[in-house]
């Protein structure tokens, strides 16, 4: 059982407990344990037999340790099963609707025995919600739309889709014709923190158009956005709506004097903000979306910038990607000389090369030279061309003869570039079902960079898949393990794999593990990247580009590396070309 599954079971139990009117302290203990399970780099299922080891994890007490052991043994939690027997499994779906928290779900159950999406839809159609507390016509219409949206989508959107929507909105808002002007539009929330998927989009707008006397016109301008599908609500300084793809957007208009406080507050995460507010209280302040103010006289201490707010709390500014309450506040405490223990995170500008990409020799759209020119334009010092091997027939994968000829063509382009950029010869070779590789060693020996990846037979049992990948990385020509868990975000779960064992063996062999920056993959995920770091794995970040424009997707991968607290020195392709090759596994 994966940590994410344990976290989900704990979260659902906490929610069900709140619906049933349970004790607040008990509810919070489930939620804190869920957060600990989701973020822990230790594989909780492997620790289930050792209560003492479980208790070493912050947020896990004796009761929660017993729950984790039950989850691993039975696949569920006793209290969760008991509460679902009282309601139904469908009651958890109600919590996915916009604005539908445990208290509202409890209201619907108590008043009308509603415990599923279908039950809610039927009750709305029958008029049974009319007259219930907080169930006016607008709320009922909102629920109807929420049900429609739920049925269309699970409500999560990949980071690239959310960013594209944000970019279009930013351009629209910056073009506001007046009265007043828009100075800046800043995405906040989970998108700013770089989360791999987003449930909604928060945009903060500042400028003279956002001052109290000017907001009426600005609100109307926002509400006229052509990409809107449905308007949810509009007020004095906020407009909420759904885009055509059902992504919810909240646009907030802010005076410049409060921008920093609002940006900090709406960036989150919730756990980070709670911990930061607790620190503020201990120091005699109160922190809100409007300002950091003194408790005694309510005078404003900081509000205009995030840096001022964190500084007033005795902290260095914390990068948004780190704001998940995983120790970043403690690391940010300013010590002697005004320095903190926060690491200097990797940045896109640190990347010197991209060593996983495809050309029209297989399933890419461009030639070797076109990919090299595009990488040179990005300022890279090297790339590796790594087309597919023959097992992937749908991609026109390379057999032995074509692979050798492809190496010759890559070498020719490398010479053409005359040192302006290095073009390494490589291959993304398939890991076959038994762990052997799709091309013989004598062909792999021709390559500078051999990436081994699983592309088929995803349903193999955990033990079989683990043995398969371990056998592959033992091959002395394999230098990188590609997209190690095989997941496709919101489409395909990771295949069953004893990832800690694989990462440990890669570290021992010197095989680098890839973080695949393609936004449909982002594999390894941030938790597994932290584990790879702890185990001493070499890490590379690649775009897996199939088009020269895909090279721009490196930023999505770098954001996940930042969320895992990685520095430039912990990622191999921040090195120059010769140093990069030397840092890879030594070839026979």
pLDDT value at residue 117 = 87
Torsion of CA 463, 524, 400, 580, to 10 degrees: -130
- pLDDT of 100 over the 90 cut: no
Other beta carbons within 10 angstroms of residue 157's beta carbon come to 25
Through-space distance between the first and last CA atoms of the chain, rounded to whole angstroms: 38
pLDDT value at residue 92 = 87
**Dihedral sign of CA atoms 223, 228, 229, 234 in order:** negative
pLDDT value at residue 526 = 96
Q: What percentage of the chain exceeds 70 in pLDDT? A: 99
SS in 3 state form for 414-460? Answer: HHHCCCCCEEEEEEEEEECCCCCECCCHHHHCCCCEEEEECCCCCCC
b/e for 469-504, b at 16 or more Cβ within 10 A? bbebbebbbbbbbbbbbbbebeeeebbbbbbbebbb
pLDDT value at residue 561 = 98
Confidence of residue 273 (pLDDT cuts 50, 70, 90): very high
pLDDT in tens, 365-379: 899 999 999 999 999
Q: Which domains does the chain have, with CATH numbers?
A: 3-86 (1.10.150.110), 157-254 (3.30.460.10), 259-338 (3.30.210.10), 348-583 (3.20.20.140)
Highest mean pLDDT among 6-10, 52-56, 259-263: 259-263
Confidence of residue 40 (pLDDT cuts 50, 70, 90): confident
> Distance between CA 573 and CA 582 in Å, rounded?
11
Cis check for the bond before 283: say yes or no (omega within 30 of 0). Answer: no
Confidence of residue 484 (pLDDT cuts 50, 70, 90): very high
In this structure, what are the phi and psi dihedrals at residue 427, rounded to the nearest 5 degrees?
-155, 145
Confidence of residue 132 (pLDDT cuts 50, 70, 90): confident
> Distance between CA 400 and CA 415 in Å, rounded?
23
User: Where is average pLDDT lowest: 108-112, 316-320, 403-407, 459-463?
Assistant: 108-112
Average pLDDT over residues 272-301: 97
Confidence of residue 135 (pLDDT cuts 50, 70, 90): confident
Average pLDDT over residues 79-101: 85
Q: What is the CA radius of gyration of the chain?
A: 26
pLDDT value at residue 152 = 61
Average pLDDT over residues 267-276: 95
Confidence of residue 133 (pLDDT cuts 50, 70, 90): confident
Average pLDDT over residues 257-280: 96
**Dihedral sign of CA atoms 13, 45, 452, 578 in order:** positive
Residues 6+ apart with CB under 8 A from 101: 95
Name the strand (E) or helix (H) holding 321.
none
Other beta carbons within 10 angstroms of residue 234's beta carbon come to 15
**Cα distances (angstroms) measured from residue 277 to each of 140, 201, 274, 283:** 35, 23, 5, 10
Tokens of 298: 């309510």
Average pLDDT over residues 247-264: 96
User: Where is average pLDDT lowest: 140-149, 243-252, 475-484, 504-513?
Assistant: 140-149
**Cα distances (angstroms) measured from residue 369 to each of 217, 231, 497:** 52, 48, 37
Average pLDDT over residues 336-345: 92
> Distance between CA 309 and CA 302 in Å, rounded?
5
- pLDDT of 155 over the 80 cut: no
- pLDDT of 478 over the 80 cut: yes
> Would you say 257 and 304 are in contact if contact means Cβ atoms under 8 Å apart?
yes
Nearest to 193 by CA among 271, 116, 106: 271
Average pLDDT over residues 180-189: 97
**Greater pLDDT, 337 or 325:** 325
pLDDT value at residue 136 = 81
> Distance between CA 109 and CA 111 in Å, rounded?
6
- pLDDT of 85 over the 70 cut: yes
Confidence of residue 348 (pLDDT cuts 50, 70, 90): very high
Mean of the per-residue pLDDT values of the chain = 93
pLDDT value at residue 41 = 79
- pLDDT of 153 over the 60 cut: no
**Greater pLDDT, 389 or 154:** 389
pLDDT value at residue 154 = 60
Other beta carbons within 10 angstroms of residue 136's beta carbon come to 13
> Distance between CA 37 and CA 12 in Å, rounded?
13
- pLDDT of 14 over the 90 cut: yes
Q: Where are the alpha helices (DSSP H) in 313-416?
A: 328-332, 368-377, 400-416
Quote the DSSP letter at residue 488: B
User: Where is average pLDDT lowest: 47-51, 166-170, 575-579?
Assistant: 47-51
CA 477 to chain centre: 32
**Greater pLDDT, 583 or 41:** 583
pLDDT value at residue 350 = 98
Average pLDDT over residues 86-95: 85
- pLDDT of 112 over the 60 cut: yes
Confidence of residue 137 (pLDDT cuts 50, 70, 90): confident
Confidence of residue 547 (pLDDT cuts 50, 70, 90): very high
């Amino acid at each position: 059982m994966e940590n994410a599954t344990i976290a989900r079971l704990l979260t659902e139990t906490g929610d069900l407990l709140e619906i049933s009117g349970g004790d607040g302290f008990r509810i919070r203990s489930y939620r804190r344990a869920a957060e600990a399970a989701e973020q822990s780099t230790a594989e909780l299922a492997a620790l289930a037999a050792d209560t003492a080891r479980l208790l070493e994890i912050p947020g896990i007490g004796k009761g929660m340790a017993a729950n984790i052991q039950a989850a691993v043994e039975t696949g569920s939690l006793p209290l969760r099963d008991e509460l679902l027997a009282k309601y139904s499994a469908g009651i958890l779906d109600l919590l996915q609707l916009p604005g539908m928290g445990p208290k509202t779900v409890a209201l619907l159950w108590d008043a009308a025995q509603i415990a599923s999406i279908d039950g809610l839809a039927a009750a709305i159609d029958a008029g049974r919600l009319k007259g219930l507390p907080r169930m006016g016509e607008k709320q009922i219409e909102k629920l109807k739309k929420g049900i429609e949206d739920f049925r269309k989508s699970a409500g999560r959107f990949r980071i690239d889709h959310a960013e594209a929507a944000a970019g279009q909105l930013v351009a629209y808002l910056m073009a506001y014709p007046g009265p007043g002007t828009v100075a800046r539009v800043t995405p906040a929330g989970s998108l700013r923190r770089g989360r791999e998927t987003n449930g909604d989009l928060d945009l903060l707008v500042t400028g003279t158009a956002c001052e109290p006397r000017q907001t009426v016109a600005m609100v109307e301008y926002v509400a006229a956005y052509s990409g809107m599908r449905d308007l949810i609500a509009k007020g004095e300084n906020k407009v909420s709506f759904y885009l055509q793809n059902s992504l919810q957007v909240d646009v907030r208009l802010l005076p410049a004097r409060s921008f920093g406080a609002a940006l900090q507050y709406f960036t989150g995460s919730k756990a980070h903000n709670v911990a930061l507010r607790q620190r503020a209280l201990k120091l005699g302040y109160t922190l809100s979306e409007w300002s950091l103010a003194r408790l005694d006289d309510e005078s404003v201490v900081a509000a205009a910038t995030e840096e001022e707010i964190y500084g007033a709390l005795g902290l260095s500014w914390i990068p948004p990607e780190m704001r998940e309450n995983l120790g970043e506040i403690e690391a940010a405490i300013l010590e002697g000389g005004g320095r903190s223990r926060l690491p200097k995170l990797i940045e896109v500008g640190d990347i010197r090369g991209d060593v996983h990409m495809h050309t029209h020799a297989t399933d890419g759209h461009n030639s070797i030279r076109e990919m090299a020119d595009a990488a040179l334009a990005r300022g890279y010092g090297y790339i590796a061309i790594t087309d597919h091997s023959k097992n992937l027939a749908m991609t026109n994968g390379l057999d032995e003869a074509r692979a050798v000829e492809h190496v010759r063509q890559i070498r020719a382009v490398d010479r053409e570039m005359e040192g302006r950029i290095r073009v390494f010869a490589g291959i993304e070779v398939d890991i076959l079902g038994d762990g052997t590789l799709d091309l013989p060693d004598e062909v792999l020996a021709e390559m500078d960079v051999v990436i081994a990846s699983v592309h088929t037979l995803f349903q193999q049992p955990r033990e079989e898949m683990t043995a398969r990948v371990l056998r592959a990385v033992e091959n002395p020509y394999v230098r990188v393990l590609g997209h190690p868990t095989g997941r496709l975000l919101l489409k395909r779960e990771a295949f069953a794999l004893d990832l800690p064992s694989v990462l440990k063996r890669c570290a021992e062999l010197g095989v680098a593990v890839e973080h695949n920056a393609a936004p449909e993959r982002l594999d390894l995920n941030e938790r597994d990247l932290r584990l790879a770091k702890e185990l001493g794995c070499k890490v590379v970040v690649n775009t897996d580009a199939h088009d020269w424009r895909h090279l721009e997707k490196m930023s999505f991968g770098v954001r996940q590396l930042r969320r895992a607290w990685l520095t430039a020195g912990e990622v191999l392709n921040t090195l120059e070309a010769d140093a990069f090759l030397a840092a890879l596994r030594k070839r026979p």
